[in-house]
Structure 1
Amino acid sequence: MEYAQRRKLQSQETERKILYAALELMRERGFDKVSVRDICKAAGITTGAFYHHFSSKEALLEHGFAPLDDYMRSVLENSGDESPDQRLWRLLSAYGQFMEHSGELIGRYYQQRIAEPGTKSMDPSRYTLRSMVECFRQAEREGILAPGHSPEWIADFCFRHFRGVVVDWVLHGYSYPLLPRMEEDYRLFVTLFHA
């Protein structure tokens, strides 16, 4: 492996260590009670290394969904034999569980997104969205996807809807269990599949 390639991989690994350390600390203590120094100590890095990757603690939120994509990848890696509706529920329930586990951080993330108009929170290259698109493509290949829209459009619509459910949960102060609400809405979405 070339030096430049090794350095790039090392940099990505350091960034992930920072993100995971911050995520765990912030889940335990809350965003405001965690300092950059706390994150560095938990990640086993210097503050200089932190600031090489992130301009501030708030900047972590911009990259905070890399752990979500990693989590989704681990949950979905053995779902190849599932039907599209089973895989869609696996994807949505994992998404909901991650959100519930992250709690206040999700609220912070969306506050930041709203405060910075024009930022793109759902990059089409992200694993979570690509997995949803593939789920609807499989349904289309199997002839069970309701006609009228492309798998890409349906996946985008589905993701926007469930992201909205999460935002509603945040706006209600995390006062209701998220997963049952998502399951109720999922039952409507599976009507996109027909016999």
Structure 2
Amino acid sequence: MTELTPRQLKAQETKKNLLEKGLELFHERGFDNVTVESIAKACNVSKGAFYVHFTSKYDVFLEKFKDIDEFYLSFIPSIPDDLKASEKILLFYKGQMTYLRDVLGKDFIHTIYTSALALTIDDDHYLTDQNRQLYQIIRSYVEEGVERKEFKRELSVDEISMLVTRCMRGTIYDWIIFRERLDPVVEIHSMTSVVLDGLKCDSE
């Protein structure tokens, strides 16, 4: 592995600081009340330095979403191949919500999701982008379930995937609203189990 130069290490540190300070300011002031200039100033760098690493303040939490999705991808090998598709989905969601709850924490999740929702939600929004790793993982499990006749064929892969991912988003948003009154690990299992049971073939 090639060692990074002092300049590259400095650039990495600057990007990390901009990311962390940006998220901190979003939490304190709200996304609309934070500017690129205020993020740069808080890190003692110029606006130009900010734009070396990010194209806009939106990219600050977009970068964090990508990091989170990379964790989801790394979690896949821990799920046994011989399980049913529905069991894989439940295990994946358990790992996801445990990570969000115990590693990232509710305050951080509150910050990035409320910041994301402050923007116009369209087809290009990262929360709805079906090419996102998170959605591709769920879709692969759904396709597996359909192929193995675990799920009803009356619904398409897209329709089943939509229902299953809504369980995830609904759990996260309810966690943001209810905070300590709701455990996302328990809630995701309860909600998704009901939905998956309704999607299974009668022979299951």
TM-score under structure 2 normalisation? 0.69
CA distance in 1, matches of 2:94, 2:48: 38
Give 1:97's aligned residue. Answer: 98
Uncovered stretches (5+) of structure 2, i.e. residues with no partner:
1-7, 30-37
Larger Rg: 1 or 2?
A: 2
- Could you say what secondary structure the match of 1:139 adopts? helix
Give 1:4's aligned residue. Answer: none
CA distance in 2, matches of 1:93, 1:172: 19
User: Aligned match of 1:168 in 161, 170, 174?
Assistant: 174
Q: Check whether the contact 1:76–1:90 (CA below 8 A) recurs between aligned residues.
A: no
Give 2:193's aligned residue. Answer: 187
- Figure out how many residues of one structure are paired with residues of the other and give that number: 177
Give 1:18's aligned residue. Answer: 16
Instruction: Label 1:77 to 1:14 Cα distance change in 2 as closer, same or farther (>3 A).
Output: farther
Give 1:114's aligned residue. Answer: 117
The aligned amino acid for 2:90 is W
Instruction: Confirm or deny that 1:149 pairs with 2:155.
Output: yes
- Could you say what secondary structure the match of 2:155 adopts? coil
Instruction: Confirm or deny that 1:131 pairs with 2:127.
Output: no
- Could you say what secondary structure the match of 1:116 adopts? coil
- Could you say what secondary structure the match of 1:122 adopts? coil
Q: Check whether the contact 2:164–2:192 (CA below 8 A) recurs between aligned residues.
A: no
CA distance in 1, matches of 2:180, 2:73: 26
The aligned amino acid for 2:191 is D
Deviating beyond 3 angstroms after TM superposition, the runs of 4 or more aligned structure 1 residues are: 30-33, 46-51, 55-59
CA distance in 2, matches of 1:98, 1:156: 22
The alignment yields a C-alpha RMSD, in angstroms, of: 3.7
What's the CA shift string for 1:134-181, capped at 9, x where partnerless?
Answer: 101001111111222111221122112320121011011343221111
Question: 1:107: Cα distance to partner?
Answer: 1.3
Instruction: Label 1:14 to 1:155 Cα distance change in 2 as closer, same or farther (>3 A).
Output: farther
Question: 1:124: Cα distance to partner?
Answer: 1.2
The aligned amino acid for 1:116 is L
TM-score under structure 1 normalisation? 0.72
CA distance in 1, matches of 2:50, 2:56: 9
The aligned amino acid for 2:110 is G
Give 2:66's aligned residue. Answer: 66
- Could you say what secondary structure the match of 2:179 adopts? coil
The aligned amino acid for 2:151 is L
The aligned amino acid for 2:112 is Y
State, as a whole percentage, how many aligned pairs show the same letter: 18
Uncovered stretches (5+) of structure 1, i.e. residues with no partner:
1-9, 41-45
Q: Check whether the contact 1:136–1:154 (CA below 8 A) recurs between aligned residues.
A: yes
